[in-house]
Structure 1
Amino acid sequence: MLINGALLKLAKNLKKHIISVSLLSCFIGAVTVFQAFYLSKVINAIFERPDKIMYYFICFLFAVFLQMVLRYPANMLSISSEASIKLDIRNTLLDRIYGLGLAKLTDERSGKLCTLLLDRIEALAPYYSIYLPNLITVLFVSMGCIIYIGSINLNVCLTALIGILGMLITPAFTYKYLWGSGTEVWKEYDKFGSDFLDNIQGMKTLKNLKACKIRRQEMLRISKEIHKKTMNHMKITTIENFLFELSANIGSVLSVVYAVYLSASGHINAGSVVFVLFMIRNCFIPVYSLMLAWHVGYNGITASSEIENILKEEIPVWKENFDFADTNTLSTRRLSFSYNNHDVILNNIDLDLKPGKTYAFVGKSGEGKSTLVSLLAGLYPYTSGEIWFKNLPLTLDTVSRWRENISAVWQNPYVFNGTLKDNLLFAKPDATDTEINAAIKEANLEDILAKLPYGIDTELGENGSILSGGEKQRLAAARCFLKNTEILIFDEATSSLDEKNQGFIQESIELLKKGKTAIIIAHRLSTVKNADIIYMIDGGRIIASGTHEELYNNCQTYHNLVKSQEDGNEK
């Protein structure tokens, strides 16, 4: 049998759980051996020492009783340990995914990450809670029996040992094939989960385009592929089981037959044959259990391939400490950013954004506006340059505190499954009812609250399914009122809204930004004409800045953008 070093390293914080289950399994195995030992003594005593029958029988019954009593705590300990193992590994992975940040979410499909955190870890846990304890039981209990049999006759011992070793080394010959087929099955499960999540989230679009049948056929194709690859995996498993059974039968049957032969030829007495018979049986019971545990555990090993890949990924490098000016501005110097060290998005951005002022970033789609505000919000590690606010530089050590200074209304704010109150409390977990009610009023949420069946305690559904896009924006604004930070970001906060919701959001923005550093990204330039300073971004660079009038008269790119919108060429 094989030990996976990477999985042992992953479980370094779980040693006490694995050791506890293993020790108890070994103890139960030892008790089973004592049962066999005293049962053989009872049988021999019938013919050789009748006066000892009762003593041996009581010892045998005690061993049976003790084994029965230990089964329950053993099962409970195994279940408890498995739950702890899954919890610890999930927390480790979640921390890793959080550390990898939005860049990881950009590269991976959400369904694949869900499969990773749910199905793969569910499959991985038995490796620790079932397979490893069984392996340790074999190494101590079964080998202990073999050694004891060796004290009676070395040749019988070696015959049984050959069978056990055959079972232990069989996986070495099938490992490569099982790994390949097992990982392929998991890849198909990842794809199935990802496509299924896409179908659920895009159900409206699929029905509108009458594309449900197309997606159903694709899901059926993936299901057939899973079935095909699973059956290929089972073929290898079947061959492996045959080798397991062959080794076990050769070892157990031949050792017993050989012991009988030695007894018939006068080399060992009949009592020893009875003892060997029971010992061989109890010697191979843990090995058979290990054989079953191996297939459960190996499913977890193949599931771990993607877990290992994520744990090996390097956390994005944040800027180290640097010298900065202690001012009251949100400032950047030579700020640059690229995804995966290529395709430069931003290049040498210098900003000084003062409190009480409103700043706007404008430019065509794909020029880096949203990326820039994401960097200022501390959502991505920047490639080079410097960012600071007052006396706080944005570095790996300060990013958590940095985010406490910033609130945002993003273009597509996310509403979590839960009540309206739950979603507001994300901004300030200790907010009082008075503060919550004030935020609701300031964000013009009162009309929404009035129509909800249970008011603030109404469940909003997945991603706020009972709210419109404009209502979600107003909820996001209410979070900003609750958080009450010194820096505010509005990323296309009024885009694609009806006139009513646009008016509400605009009112909230005006109220929110008083005395704050406000940053606005707007596709419609009419909404940023009154900003104190507008930055024109083109090709990842700031090519001009100033008021609307200054840019309109002095920056041809800005002038053309305004005229294009006024002429109706870009909406």
Structure 2
Amino acid sequence: MKILKKFLQYYRPYRFLFYADMFCALIVSLVDLAFPLILDYLSKNVFIKDKTVILNSILYVGIALLALYVLKYFCQYFIASWGHIMGARMENNMRRDLFYHLQRMSFSYYDENNTGQMMSILVSDLFDISELAHHGPENVFISAVKIIGSFAVLMFINFRMTLILLAVTVIMVVFSFYENKKMQRIFFDNRKKMGNINSSVQDSLLGIRVVKSFANEGIERKKFDKNNNAYRISREKSYKVMGKFIAGNTFFEGLLYVVILVSGAFFIADGSLKIPDLAVYALYINIFINPIDILINFAEQFQKGFAGFKRFMSILSVEPEIVDKKDAVTLENVRGDIEYRNVSFSYNSEKQVLKNINLKIEAGKKIAFVGPSGGGKTTICSLLPRFYDVSSGSVMIDGKDVKDVTLESLRNSIGIVQQDVYLFSGTLKENIGYGKPEASDEKIIRAAKEANIHDYIMSLDNGYDTYVGERGVRLSGGQKQRISIARVFLENPPILILDEATSALDNESENFIQKSLEKLAKNRTTIVIAHRLSTIRNADEIIVIDDEGIKERGSHSELLKKGGLYAYYYNMQFEGLDVRE
């Protein structure tokens, strides 16, 4: 009922279209029900009279029937066109709600869920849901009107024969109910298997360069075939159940005709049923069975749409872990003082990554984190913009807990340059201006110059309007990194996080980009995560972190003199060089 209630909410903006669709469906049903009644009336009251009366009467009846079928034409047009338009608009609203909801989800959600499954829901599931949204109420309503209307007429023609008909129909309904239960489970499994195919294709195509570099096309084909065959098997199961469902209902339909023929013969024999009434009865049996056929054919569509909507709701029902408080304030006039107070953190219920971290960073200072992978350096930085929330303790900016300020103002105050740069499909100008879409061309060019990428961009045929390709595939690692730096220059945040921003670059690119980063870090509170220790020698403070927490802290020269963990790492990287500074 909860799922149904949520489904019905999407009809609210289109109440007029819905009621108009149902009204047209009622007209169509009544027109279909009227014809046998008119035929029955004519055969009993008109066709038994003389030629003149028949010819005069049939002209008016023909005009009236033509008018009814013209009306039915316009109603059928409305159902087929505007009914589908209503479904498409509902699909559009559902897709919008799902995408907006996914945008609100925190990093932890994407750590545990596959984007291929989400794409499957956004595209194929929602299409089936929109078809259900349109055809569901319409088919059920038309079928109900026809079944109830024809059943009432059948009861009036012969009460006892209609009770026999009702008994067969009840058995048919019970059979359909149990088969529908099986179909529901199988179609839900279909959706999951289809999502697995999408995931496989997405992973393989996004990583196509890695696939080809290892000549692993065969492995990817095996992975795809596994998911593809699993989907095929699931579909085959669904078709077997569908076959049993359709064949069973077809059998019961045939049984209805057998029952009517046999019982009709008995009732004619005992004089309780007239032969003309049996002919009309047979016409209404067709009207009675036709909506049952519609419902049988609709069953597959219903199960697909219902399974899709359950998957849709399974995502919408997940509340984002990280949201604004009701009384959250805007973070303004940021100086850049940062403090971690007794901060502990773990991913879900796993082993603690951070335990009782206490750290103060003064505004405008440059702090560097070094240490082995998995020690928690990136995690500490991720807690500052609330990509994750602390398990205990608090993270402060200018004395304000980051949980007490709006996410938008918090993240607009922090610029991040990462090792793995993501560029969106589009132009260089659009990618540089991603953080500030309203920025003028002049500001974008100025940011590119600050990042030392302007001259390269101008050397391209289309300059700033050059298309970068999917994920920036047409650019080198160093060029993508400078685009990322230009983004932050344009955003101009008071706090900067450099997460191993040069570790994947060659020495020439690193030196080039290091100058850009030094320029970017000027007069900003800067946190640097670095594996190349040569890039952080000028940091105001270097903090050594391992899986036990903060081990050492001090300037480059102080830590070298101490001869501890930092000196060990430094000498490993620069063995043979002068390290007396």
Secondary structure at 2:419 match in 1: coil
The SS at the match of 2:542 is: strand
- More deviation, 16-25/410-419: 16-25
Q: What is the rounded CA distance, in whole Å, between the counterparts of 1:307 and 1:146 in structure 2?
A: 38
Find the counterpart in structure 1 of residue 30 from structure 2. 30
Query: Given the alignment of the two structures, is residue 350 of structure 1 paired with residue 358 of structure 2, yes or no?
Result: yes
User: Is 2:136 the partner of 1:139?
Assistant: no
Deviation at 1:378, TM superposition (A): 2.1
Measured in 2, the distance between the counterparts of 1:322 and 1:540 equals 34
Q: Tell me the SS of whatever aligns to 2:10.
A: helix
Aligned to 1:231: 236
CA contact (8 A) 1:439 1:481 kept: yes
Q: CA deviation at 1:296?
A: 1.5
Secondary structure of 1:481's partner?
helix
- Is the Cα–Cα contact under 8 Å of residues 268 and 275 in structure 2 kept in the other structure? yes
* Structure 1 residue runs without a partner (length 5+): none
1:196 is matched with 201
Match of 2:255 among 225, 233, 250: 250
**SS in structure 2 of the partner of residue 409 of structure 1:** strand
1:419 is aligned to 2:427:
yes
* Residue 123 in structure 1 maps to residue 131 in structure 2: no
- Residue of structure 1 in register with 2:10 after alignment: 13
Partner residue, 2:439? 431
Aligned-pair CA distance for 1:199: 1.6
Q: Return 270-279 or 227-236, whichever deviates more.
A: 270-279
Separation in structure 2 between the aligned mates of residue 451 and residue 164 of structure 1, nearest angstrom? 77
Residue type at the aligned position of 2:31: V
Which amino acid counterpart does residue 483 of structure 1 have in structure 2?
E
Matched residue, 2:338: 330
1:482 and 2:490 correspond: yes
C-alpha change, 1:253 and 1:355, in structure 2 (3 Å) is farther
Query: What is the RMSD computed on CA atoms of the aligned residues?
Result: 3.0
User: Are residues 221 and 111 of structure 1, via their aligned partners in 2, closer, same or farther at CA, if it must alter by over 3 Å?
Assistant: same
Counterpart secondary structure, 1:151: helix
Counterparts of residues 277-288 of structure 1 (less than 5 Å): 277-288=282-293
| Alignment-mate amino acid for residue 134 of structure 1 | N
2: CA distance between counterparts of 1:472 and 1:169? Answer: 63
Matches within 5 A, 1:531-546: 531-539=539-547, 541-546=549-554
- Match of 2:101, as an amino acid? R
Q: 1:338 to 1:555 in 2, by over 3 A?
A: farther
How many angstroms does 1:125 deviate by?
2.8
Aligned partner of 2:109 among 90, 104, 112: 104
Q: Does 1:85 align with 2:90?
A: yes
| Residue identity opposite 2:68 in structure 1 | A
Q: Distance in 1 between matches of 2:262 and 2:460?
A: 80
* SS of structure 1 residue aligned to 2:403: coil
Find the counterpart in structure 2 of residue 309 from structure 1.
Answer: 314
Q: Which amino acid aligns with 1:462?
A: E
Measured after TM superposition, the shift of residue 429 of structure 1 is 1.6
Does 253-262 or 116-125 show the bigger shift? Answer: 253-262
Normalised by the length of structure 2, the TM-score is 0.88
Give the Cα–Cα distance (whole angstroms) in 2 for the partners of residues 30 and 137 of structure 1.
Answer: 9
Normalised TM-score (structure 1): 0.90
The separation in 2 between residues aligned to 1:402 and 1:277, in whole angstroms, is 74
Change (3 A) 1:434 1:264: farther
- Distance (whole Å) between structure 2 residues aligned to residue 7 and residue 92 of structure 1: 17
In terms of mean alpha carbon deviation, does 19-28 or 344-353 score higher? 19-28
Report the more deviating stretch, 552-561 or 69-78: 552-561
- Sequence identity (%): 27
CA contact under 8 A between 1:256 and 1:276: conserved in structure 2?
Answer: no
Contact 2:3 2:310 in 1 (8 A): no
Q: CA deviation at 1:425?
A: 2.9
Q: Matched residues in 2 for 1:5 and 1:37: separation?
A: 42
Contact between 1:112 and 1:190, CA under 8 Å: does it hold in 2? Answer: yes
Structure 2's unaligned 5+ residue stretches are 577-581
Q: Secondary structure at the match of 1:47?
A: coil
Q: Deviation of residue 245 (structure 1)?
A: 1.2
Which of residues 262, 267, 275 is equivalent to 2:272? 267
Cα-to-partner distance string for 1:526-561 (whole Å, 9 max, x where unaligned): 111111122221116223322122233337222222
Secondary structure in 1 matching 2:435: coil
CA deviations 1:330-372 (Å, max 9, x no partner) are 2221222211132211222223323221111111111111121
Structure 1 residue 416, shift from structure 2 partner = 0.7
Residue 475 of structure 2 is aligned to residue 467 of structure 1: yes
One-letter amino acid matched to 1:122: F
Distance 1:462 1:253, change over 3 A: farther
Deviates more, 1:546-555 or 1:407-416: 546-555
- Closer/same/farther in 2, CA of residues 158 and 193 from structure 1, 3 Å limit: same
Are the equivalent residues in 2 in contact too, given 1:42–1:57 (CA < 8 A)?
no
Cα pair 1:32 1:67 within 8 Å, conserved = no
2:464: which partner in 1? Answer: 456
Distance 1:497 1:31, change over 3 A: same
Q: Which moved more, 1:389-398 or 1:555-564?
A: 389-398
For residues 383-414 of structure 1, the C-alpha deviation after alignment (integer angstroms, 9 at most, x for no partner) is 22212323643227622221121111111121
C-alpha deviation, 1:194, in angstroms: 1.4
Cα distance in structure 2, aligned partners of 1:547 and 1:95: 45
> What amino acid maps onto 1:169 in structure 2?
V
- Residues 440 and 35 (structure 1 numbering): CA distance in 2 closer, same or farther, change over 3 Å? farther
The aligned counterpart of 2:394 is 386
